Every structure is written in structure tokens, then in C-alpha cells.
Amino acid sequence: MHKTIKNLMDKEHRRIDFLLEEFEKVLNKDLKKAKELFSKFSWNLEKHFYIEEKVIFTIYNSPKNEDDDLDELLKEHKEIQWELKKIKENLENNAKINILKLKTFLKSHSKFEDEIFYPKLDENLSPSEKEIIIDRAEEEIKS
């Protein structure tokens, strides 16, 4: 199968969603396991954001009329990171944890990327730019 940015990042979204589901399953049952799973989920989500911000966004020179897309994605990253911080603090303090807001943010964010942003990259970037992004993203995912 021909490698695309969309396929690679879709796969990453599914993996991150799976990790969040695993965290949610144990959240109110096993605090120690919940902390471990949340740490793994957070680490993988941070790597995902790193791939987007330091690899994709730096290679993709968006047309001026599309700069809003990048600004919105960066804003969403900050909102999601804020939710992660609150959940981590609540885990550390054994406080009640609600992940609905995080799940809602992630679902909306992923939907835009999967349906609009990544396909646009695959369509508009040169083969060499796509290859660089895919190679660097795969390298980061494996680390």
C-alpha cells in the first residue's frame, strides 16, 4: 500500500484513542493502573503533537488563506494539553476525574485532521516533502 500522511496519522489517532479507552476502563477501579495508562496515553499524545508541530507544520507552507487551519490546530493542542494537565493533577490528588471534555476535544480535533487537513497535505505537498514527513513521523512513533 502506498504510504500517505493521512494513513499514518489516522493509525496514530486510532492508537491514541485505544490508549484513552484503556485508561477510561480502569479509571474508577484501579488508581495505580489508571496512572500508568494515563502516563502512557499522555506521552503518546505529546509525541503526536510533536510530530504535527515540529515536523508537519514546519514543512507545510500553508497558503495564507489556510493559516487559520494551523492556528486553530495549535490552539486545540493547547486546549487538549490543558485538559491533560487537569486530569494529571486530579489523578495525583485522588480527585474526581471527568474525561468527557478531553474526549470531545480529541474527537473533534482528529475528525478535522483525518477528513480535511491530512488529505490536503497528501494532495498539496511534493513527494519529497511527504516522504520527509512520513520518515520523521515514523521515526518519532517508534521512539
pLDDT at 72 over 60: yes
State the pTM of this model. 0.90
pLDDT recorded at residue 67: 63
In angstroms, the CA 72 to CA 5 distance is 19
Residue 126 has a CB neighbour count (10 Å cut-off) of 9
Closest-CA residue to 31 (of 84, 80, 86, 96): 96
- Collapsing DSSP to helix, strand or coil, 21 comes out as helix
**Residues spanned by the domain of 91:** 5-142
In angstroms, the CA 114 to CA 132 distance is 19
Contact assessment for residue 16 and residue 41, using Cβ atoms and an 8 Å cutoff: yes
CATH, residue 64: 1.20.120.520
- Find the mean pLDDT for residues 119-143: 92
Contact assessment for residue 78 and residue 53, using Cβ atoms and an 8 Å cutoff: no
| Domains of the chain: total | 1
In angstroms, the CA 105 to CA 107 distance is 6
pLDDT at 65 over 60: no
Residues in the chain: 143
Q: What is the mean pLDDT of the chain?
A: 91
In angstroms, the CA 43 to CA 35 distance is 12
